[in-house]
Amino acid sequence: MQAISLATGAQMRVTRPGSDVMVACVNGGSGRARPGNWSPTIEWLVDRLAPRFPDAGFAEVRYRVRSWRMLPSCIADGQAALDALGSARRVVMLGFSMGGAVSIACAADDRVTDLVALAPWIPDELALSQLAGDRVTILHGSIDGWVPGIPGVRPAHSRGGAERLRAAGADVTYRRIPGAVHGVALRRNGRLVPLPRAGTWLADIEDALARAGL
The CATH number covering residue 121 comes to 3.40.50.1820
Cα dist from 138 to 30, 123, 132, 165, 209, whole Å: 20, 15, 16, 11, 12
Single pTM value for the model:
0.95
pLDDT digits (tens, 9 = 90+) for 96-134: 999 999 999 999 999 999 999 999 999 999 999 999 999
Instruction: Give the total number of structural domains in the chain.
Output: 1
| Domain extent for 40 | 2-211
Give the residue from 120, 160, 116 showing the smallest Cα distance to 140. 120
Q: Which residues have CB under 8 Å from 31's CB, separation 6+?
A: 67, 68, 69, 151
pLDDT digits (tens, 9 = 90+) for 138-174: 999 999 987 666 678 999 999 999 999 999 999 999 9
pLDDT of residue 31: 80
pLDDT of residue 34: 86
